Amino acid sequence: MYKTHHYLHIPIMGTGFTIDSALRVAKFGISSVLSLVDDLLIERIRKHYAAQYGFPFEAITASQPDARARRITAYLDMVDVIVKRQIEEIRALPFEAGNDKIKYFELLPDTSSTKKLYLAYLGSLDGAEKRQLETDLTQAIVPGKIDCNIMTKLDRITYDREGHAMSMEHADAKSALRGFANSTLRADIVFSAGINPTLYGYMESFPDFYRTEAGPAKKGVILKVSDYRSSIIQGKFIAKKGIEVREFRIESGLNCGGHAFASDGYLMGPILQEFKDNRAKFPEIFEPMIASWYEKKGRSYPAEARNRDIPVTAQGGIGNFAEVQRLMDFYGMDATGWASPFLLVPEATALDNGTRQQLAAAKEKDLYLSDVSPLGVVFNNLRNSTSEQWTRKQIESGKPGSPCPKKFLVSNTEFTELPICTASKEYQGMKLKAMGKETVPPVDIPDQRVQAVYVKSCICDQLGNGALINLGIIKAEMPVSVCPGPNIAYFDRLYTLREMVNHIYGRGRSLVPNDRPHMFSKDLVMSVDYFGKLADKLAAGDAKSFAYLSLFKANLEEGLAYYRDLVGSRPYPGENMDSLKETMVVQGTRLASLWDAVQERMEGAAKVASAPLSS
């Protein structure tokens, strides 16, 4: 069973948008995830809330030992204390209309046993019975989870003041893990963006990830995965370390916010079906490995841990209650994650009002997959964000690139011995000179090589500015990068927390139009779009890329065949299955056309290669 009152959670968004969501919504039993990428941002947020809640604050400076991990621990410990205090304050409230205690129960899904108890309380007339119900309800008030996210591949090697590489445990992701593990939180770490063997192995250093005689582990692991195969590979790796996966969190590869991963053409519907068909096998796959680890350590793996059901949740592009029903009733998901729509809920996320208003007004054309990320992975973006405006002004002033104040995304060694960031002034200046551009070319020059340099932006710093502006820590004029999923195009104003939660649970009028495309439709369109981009980049005669395109196409066609059966089933009320039917026809034809062009290019290259040389 999914161990919260709610069957929704707010996933990680950027580095700052959910950095304090736990302080906003955990008191209502709603779980959220905060990013551990930017410890410099975390330290500034800690200082802000320490002042607000009367905590002593002593800055943890870069010169102090293990500063990154200690900053993370200090912030998480403070958040833990504050949320516990908030819960006690709500428990102490009377049952009076309009206060947070009543709001706590009103926000719960109607299927919740606690919500049913609350409804029984409202219908109770007997004084003694009513008082007992009040006691039971008060005891049932628990906070939402305060989970944390680590992008596994952001594991930059760090250097001391003399320029010497520091030991493995001081790499970024491992320092973040240590900061989480040393905190007082009873929570889960969400690993995203693929496997990192040394990071996973490092978990063995922390006893909080293991069961004791007293019961379950204090901390657990959630794996954010794009398909069933990756869940098994990562789950096995972690199981061999004796650690239990608490949840598999399926995310659409492209129909999501932030960095996007195309998942080799696998579509969301077939992925969900594979989990539905195979999740009962999880105990027999993972438990022998976990038990073996305990045995090697001279410990026993307790009977109560056996045959454990591992929750599976889904996120990425969900838009209405009908799609929630599809995910939970049809595919058996335990909960759903809602990210981008909560960017329009000031009670839940940290973002400046100007960017919120831009998002509320955004249409499909304003949301796109970009190449701005220095990681070289496509990145969901908002056209004409203040980050884009700032980047353009830098180029127009003849000073392209960012000062690179944080260096979290440094990876390029084309011109330097130590890695630098492709969004930095240093890299962009050297790259343009290497192209023979002694003066900075115009911002709109058609040269694609130049545009590939210009497009990179400082997301590791500017993704945090929205939160800092929201909390009044920096000026509103600072550039803000934002990474919404395309689904936000169908939400057109700011909402209260109650409005958004009611929308998700199907209470009252839907916040999105009836003709909004099905989440599977958007996933399909974006996948074929991505295939088209790959096809455009195919060099004639490149057999390796051709083989990958062939695999990608085969997976898309398998997904289309799956959807042909699915659209024949009865839709849930409000589920726009007709949009999926239409999209299948259009995208199936488009895929075939794109593939014809790929084959023609490869055949043409083969003819040239086999033609006899002229004398």
Please name the amino acid found at residue 447: D
Tell me the CB-side half-sphere exposure of residue 300, using CA atoms within 13 A.
4
Strands 8-10, 31-35: pairing kind: parallel
Render pLDDT for 13-55 as a digit per residue (tens, 0 to 9): 999 999 999 999 999 999 999 999 999 999 999 999 999 999 9
d(CA 165, CA 171): 9
Segment 258-281, tens digit of pLDDT: 999 888 999 999 999 999 999 999
**Average confidence (pLDDT) over 426-443:** 94
Identify the band that residue 364 occupies on the pLDDT scale cut at 50, 70 and 90: very high
Burial of 213 (0-12, 13-18, 19+ CB in 10 A): exposed
pLDDT at 353 over 60: yes
The residue length of the chain stands at 615
> pLDDT category, 2, cuts 50, 70, 90?
very low
Residue 319 pLDDT exceeds 70 = yes
Q: Work out the percent of the chain whose per-residue pLDDT is above 90.
A: 88
> Is residue 162 over pLDDT 80?
no
Q: Given this model, what pLDDT does residue 400 score?
A: 95
**Where residue 1 falls among pLDDT bands split at 50, 70, 90?**
very low
**Residue 485, amino acid:** G
Taking every pair of Cα atoms in the chain, the longest distance, rounded to a whole number of angstroms, is 106
What is the bridge-based pairing of β-strands 245-251 and 312-315? parallel
How many other β-carbons are positioned within 10 Å of the β-carbon of residue 121?
17
Half-sphere exposure at residue 309, Cβ-oriented, CA atoms within 13 angstroms: 10
> Which pLDDT band holds residue 614 (cuts at 50, 70, 90)?
low
Return the pLDDT at 114: 96
Q: What is the mean pLDDT of the chain?
A: 94
Domain spans of the chain, in order of start: 8-342, 353-481, 519-606
73/78 Cα distance (integer angstroms): 9
d(CA 497, CA 104): 11
Q: Inform me whether the pLDDT recorded for 602 exceeds 90.
A: no
Whether the per-residue pLDDT at 255 is higher than 90: the answer is yes
DSSP 8-state assignment for residue 38: -
Q: Compute the average pLDDT of residues 206-210.
A: 97
Question: Would you tell me the crossing angle of helices 519-537 and 543-566 to the nearest 10 degrees?
Answer: 160
Selected from 2.60.40, 2.60.120, 3.20.20, 2.130.10, the CATH number assigned to the domain covering 8-342 reads: 3.20.20
- What is the mean predicted confidence (pLDDT) over 89-112? 97
pLDDT in tens, 530-544: 999 999 988 878 899
Cβ atoms of 466 and 460 within 8 Å: the answer is: no
135 and 75 Cβ atoms separated by less than 8 Å: no
Q: What is the pLDDT of residues 126-147, one digit of tens each?
A: 889 999 999 999 999 999 999 9
